[in-house]
A and B are shown apart, each in its own frame.
Chain A
């Protein structure tokens, strides 16, 4: 930072600059150069302490065997954790489920909310606000409350859902939603999605509101149909938001499902509803096998990194719509 060329940047001052003036402006210039970094410092320092330092430490732990017990030291085991990882059934299952949850969540984070946002956007203020307010309610509830309520609703013998299904003769045996492998992960997906919709509607609504009304007016004067308006005007203009939600959804689907997996199925039955993050948690804190957990974390950091790079490239392509 020390070698700066003042002449290029400083606007010419009125009058003649004395020697002292020059040194003041030199200091001011230094400040000016440093300023962006000072503004960024708190965020960067915190990120280093709580994100990058631990990430490096996790990389180190991935090659160690350690139970996190104070007084014990990690022992180096080379690539053992990785080779074991790919021979473990539950981990292999968890990869498939991670993909399942990620893809399965897209309708809830993009398709349905986009439809709801577009439909309500065309409405008058009052009903528009009413609907959006209602849709948003699940989002503000915390996961434990949500998990408790759904566990009660889906209980095999005492729950309302099974009660109704039996009464309506849809099924003749109650469904064990949380311990039937055919159901468990769908229920987890449904609950996660149910909670997501409101947030996504709000995000899309804000994107739609940002669109200049004049575009629509011009289009309707031109006599364009509703569908055409959507394809020609709405879709391109909300595409950055779609991409944003897509990225969020892909990167965070596994995070969002975590709480419900932990509360409702603990990954079961026989690992059929677990995901990668839950396996990491289970290995570190229940099986006391930190190295294993760290190796899994590393593998997935790399995988998600690649996905994100792809999305990032896509985002650059699309972002010209956003002026």
Chain B
């Protein structure tokens, strides 16, 4: 019987333990439901009050900032500097502490919202903003921040950039980091192939000729644009006069003749024998390792490429995105905006201070010079107190700035199926470019499928 007692007490201990956790769980559950219910009712009050409550420096308000740039090795230091400078100056003075959270997976903020954690500010991509707004509780700037302050703050920010975060006339995100694709070139491979990086290829035909020449002379791949890159593709379609999504955002239009022709061109290049293969990150790795002549990619990876090239002893050059014939190219922009979900007025006040700082003159100066994105207050590039010196030393940014007036926003897929639609688009491009599949058939099929989803 002694043994039995031991066994029974063990079992008793175990069941008690689980009984307790079960109780604990239901208790917490109620709490979080209550909190969530609170969340849902508060924004209405926040929008009603025109003025935000005063922050208290002695009792600072903590807000969280989910940023994928914080997780990116080449951008991390610059982003940390941006946050530290805010916390030590404006934050200390007004009473705000921003906690940066490195979003390694790009979806951590989503799962953290699911997990009921405090998610206040998110560095959010453009393409899926509409769906986040509908399902994840993001607020329009007009509804939570003081109107006059917002208007004066937006002055000086490129209108193209502002338009990106607007849905149904309201701003759900303020452009934060901004980059466009440019054609990176490996100076050493260019010279080895007898090409001049200072006289870069201008059209896609030039690109193909140069790529084949590099392949022939050096044995390395001449050109790379990963089929699954996601958004540079849209620039290729737009540059040929095509469209990705209709102006009213009610249907997809990438399978037009222009779109198909553009993708067909890319497909021919891809199968020319001089095009790099692999995923976006693999092609990036190939270029960084010095094994790729030209690389069409966002400027956001410039700092990483620059340090890799310096370590390996070759020079990186930049050119504008290639064009079709004599039509000027139409690059899209990638990057992110700041999307906010304040759950109280005091939180809104704290978030507003942070947003003003990082999208102000000082913020953009740090973002461009230390993180590597474009200054959205374009005047800064010629401001001696701002970025003039930096841009003079890094002429590659001029290439990017020169493209800014031709730029078009990346497609914002409407509704709750945005992620599925974006995937369907990318999948179709990968299939059309990298396999034997017929371009017209593949794209038309994907377009029909997407239009089906849009109508639901």
A245 at the A/B interface (Cβ < 8 Å)? no
Cα(A305)–Cα(B376), bound, Å:
57
A176-B282 in contact (CB<8A): yes
B135 at the A/B interface (Cβ < 8 Å)? yes
A69-B15 in contact (CB<8A): no
B291-A45 in contact (CB<8A): no
Partner of A39, one of B7, B40, B289, B420: B7
Segment at the interface with B among A134-142, A153-161, A306-314: A153-161
What residues on A are CB-neighbors of B137 within 8 Å? 69, 71
B15-A42 in contact (CB<8A): yes
B420-A287 in contact (CB<8A): yes
What residues on B are CB-neighbors of A86 within 8 Å? none
Chain B residues with a Cβ closer than 8 Å to the other chain, count? 52
| In the complex, residue of chain A having the shortest beta-carbon distance to the beta carbon of B219 | A166
Partner of A45, one of B18, B33, B37, B39: B18
B402 at the A/B interface (Cβ < 8 Å)? no
- Kindly list 15 other residue pairs between chains A and B, CB separation below 8 angstroms, not including A158-B291, A288-B136: A41-B11, A67-B135, A69-B137, A70-B36, A70-B113, A71-B35, A71-B40, A89-B449, A157-B286, A157-B289, A176-B277, A179-B228, A268-B430, A270-B427, A271-B427
What residues on B are CB-neighbors of A38 within 8 Å? 7-8, 11
Cα(A178)–Cα(B283), bound, Å:
12
Beta-carbon contacts of A80-118 to B below 8 Å, as 1s and 0s?
Answer: 000000000110000000000000000000000000000
Count, A-B residue pairs, CB within 8 A? 127
| In the complex, residue of chain B having the shortest beta-carbon distance to the beta carbon of A181 | B435
Give me 13 A-to-B residue pairs in the complex whose CB atoms sit less than 8 angstroms apart, sorted by A's number.
A49-B22, A69-B113, A70-B32, A71-B137, A155-B285, A156-B286, A157-B286, A157-B289, A157-B291, A178-B278, A179-B434, A180-B434, A288-B419
| In the complex, residue of chain B having the shortest beta-carbon distance to the beta carbon of A65 | B416
| In the complex, residue of chain B having the shortest beta-carbon distance to the beta carbon of A34 | B8
B53 at the A/B interface (Cβ < 8 Å)? no
Cα(A231)–Cα(B39), bound, Å:
69
What residues on A are CB-neighbors of B286 within 8 Å? 156-158
A174 at the A/B interface (Cβ < 8 Å)? yes
B253 at the A/B interface (Cβ < 8 Å)? no
* A-facing residues in B1-39 (Cβ within 8 Å): 4, 7-8, 11, 14-15, 18, 22, 32-33, 35-37, 39
Partner of B18, one of A46, A68, A271, A285: A46
A31 at the A/B interface (Cβ < 8 Å)? yes
| Contact flag A288-B110 (CB < 8 Å), given A38-B8, A49-B22, A268-B228 | yes
What residues on B are CB-neighbors of A270 within 8 Å? 427-428, 430-431
A33 at the A/B interface (Cβ < 8 Å)? no
| Contact flag A71-B37 (CB < 8 Å), given A157-B221, A181-B435 | yes
- A291 CB, min distance to chain B CBs, angstroms: 12
A67-B291 in contact (CB<8A): no
Cα(A71)–Cα(B14), bound, Å:
33
| Contact flag A156-B116 (CB < 8 Å), given A269-B431, A285-B110 | no
| Contact flag A69-B136 (CB < 8 Å), given A176-B278, A178-B278 | yes
| Contact flag A41-B32 (CB < 8 Å), given A156-B282, A179-B434, A270-B428 | no
| In the complex, residue of chain A having the shortest beta-carbon distance to the beta carbon of B107 | A286
The 9 closest A-B pairs by CB, nearest first: A71-B36, A270-B427, A157-B286, A176-B277, A156-B278, A70-B116, A68-B114, A176-B278, A70-B36
Q: Which residues of B contact A (CB under 8 A)?
A: 4, 7-8, 11, 14-15, 18, 22, 32-33, 35-37, 39-40, 107, 110-111, 113-116, 135-137, 221, 226-228, 273, 276-279, 282-283, 285-286, 289, 291-292, 419-420, 423-424, 427-428, 430-431, 434-435, 449
- A64 CB, min distance to chain B CBs, angstroms: 14
B278-A69 in contact (CB<8A): no
| In the complex, residue of chain A having the shortest beta-carbon distance to the beta carbon of B117 | A70
Cα(A267)–Cα(B282), bound, Å:
16
B15-A41 in contact (CB<8A): yes
B277-A174 in contact (CB<8A): yes
What residues on A are CB-neighbors of B7 within 8 Å? 38-39
Cα(A200)–Cα(B191), bound, Å:
55
B277-A173 in contact (CB<8A): yes
* B-facing residues in A173-192 (Cβ within 8 Å): 173-176, 178-181
A287-B419 in contact (CB<8A): yes
| Contact flag A155-B135 (CB < 8 Å), given A49-B18, A285-B107, A285-B111 | no
A232 at the A/B interface (Cβ < 8 Å)? no
Which of B8, B273, B289, B292 has the most chain A CB atoms inside 10 A of its CB? B8
Cα(A29)–Cα(B424), bound, Å:
66
Beta-carbon contacts of A26-50 to B below 8 Å, as 1s and 0s?
Answer: 0000010001001101100110010
Cα(A268)–Cα(B8), bound, Å:
52
- B222 CB, min distance to chain A CBs, angstroms: 13
- A96 CB, min distance to chain B CBs, angstroms: 16
